[in-house]
Amino acid sequence: MNANNLDPAAQQQRKAYYDRIGKDSMTPLWEVLGALVPHQPKSPAVPHQWKYAAVRDSVMEAGRLISAEEAERRVLILENPALHGQSCITQSLYAGLQLIMPGEVAPAHRHTQSALRLVLDGEGAYTAVDGERTTMRRGDFIITPAWTWHDHGNLGNEPVVWLDGLDIPIVRFLDAGFAEKSDSAYQAVVRPEGDALARYGANMVPVDFYQQPAEPTKVFVYPWERTLASLRAIASGTPDTHFGHKQRYVNPATGRSPMPTMAAFSQLIPAGFETRPYRCTDGTVYVCLRGSAEASVAGQSFRLGENDVIVVPSWHSHQFRAGPETVLFSYSDRPVQQALGLWREQRN
Ligand code: GTQ
């Protein structure tokens, strides 16, 4: 419907009509149909990059401005520049850089939002999930599923920074957010470090264990050492034209994504390899863990070095050209889209 073809009187008449029905909280579909039911996704988010070297000083400055205790979580949100004020990196995903200084504790709490962590910088911190601690090492992928108690601490002597990925916008959209704080700053340790991984993450589970659908996954850390060893072993084979060598993290007890709202991936792109253009409906956050690559996102170019973050919005064609051997971590809302029958991809 092109209102511009109308004569002024008719335009006036429609406008008056819209104003009148507006008072009854109604609005005409035909003015917005194209935007409501688009031919293809038109994300309001834009591709963007955060160079770690450029933002690290600001992250450290937060460490001098506010304590972890006062902040509860001392995090700089990575906000999509086109979604200003919305605390999100895509319409459905949140990302942030969390800092914990030596001796600090980010107190125990739990919430219905699911969180993932990718450790980037520094040593000596831990995350505790439901009574078990895991020492955070660079490249470790750690999860705190919905409603699990978690606290973070730093027993070492250097600042530690990790990337937080949460489904905050999804839970906000559904108005399903609950949270509570624990009475004590940190959880009592009830299992030794490595217990969950040994019991549930070594291609075996306890004899009488069957994962209940509503229960959180038992494995909550995917150590970098194992990820890199897998990728390296696979990398002797032929790389996929669009991904290089790309693996999807799973709950080993089910083969499904570790958490119902977010998928996570690790991929190794061999030195000099260029992936073919690819797009998918799940807007994706990529982090370069090793090496460097040139990312091309819908015609925009980004030089990705270690710890740099880029966001690729839904249905934006992207490809990578690795300099040296490069490892990228990524996460997205793919499991949500797949559960709803919405997910699509296109390989060019
Ligand atoms: O570590 O629990 O970036 O609750 C945002 C909300 C981190 C956390 C965030 C959170 C957390």
CATH number attached to the domain at 48-347:
2.60.120.10
Ligand 1, CB within 6 Å, residue ranges: 73, 75, 96, 98, 111, 115, 150, 164, 166
Mean pLDDT of 111-123: 98
Q: State in Å: Cα 166 to ligand 1 middle.
A: 8
Measured from the Cα of 164, ligand 1's closest atom is 3
Q: Where are the domains of the chain?
A: 48-347
- In tens, the pLDDT along 185-216 reads 999 999 999 999 999 999 999 999 999 988 99
Tell me if 142 sits within 8 A of 116, measured CB to CB: yes
Q: State in Å: Cα 94 to ligand 1 middle.
A: 10
Tell me if 306 sits within 8 A of 287, measured CB to CB: no
Measured from the Cα of 144, ligand 1's closest atom is 2
Q: Is 36 helix (H, G, I), strand (E, B) or coil?
A: helix
Which residues, 6+ apart, have CB-to-CB distance to 322 below 8 Å? 244, 269, 270, 271, 272, 273, 274, 291, 292, 293
Mean pLDDT of 259-281: 98
Predicted TM-score (pTM) of this structure: 0.97
- In tens, the pLDDT along 138-151 reads 999 999 999 999 99
Measured from the Cα of 111, ligand 1's closest atom is 4
d(CA 225, CA 5): 64
Q: What pLDDT is attached to residue 213?
A: 86
Q: What are phi and psi of 16, to 5 degrees?
A: -65, -40
Nearest in space to 287 (alpha carbons), one of 95, 108, 114? 95
Which residues, 6+ apart, have CB-to-CB distance to 315 below 8 Å? 40, 41, 43, 279, 280, 281
Beta-ladder partners of 119: 162
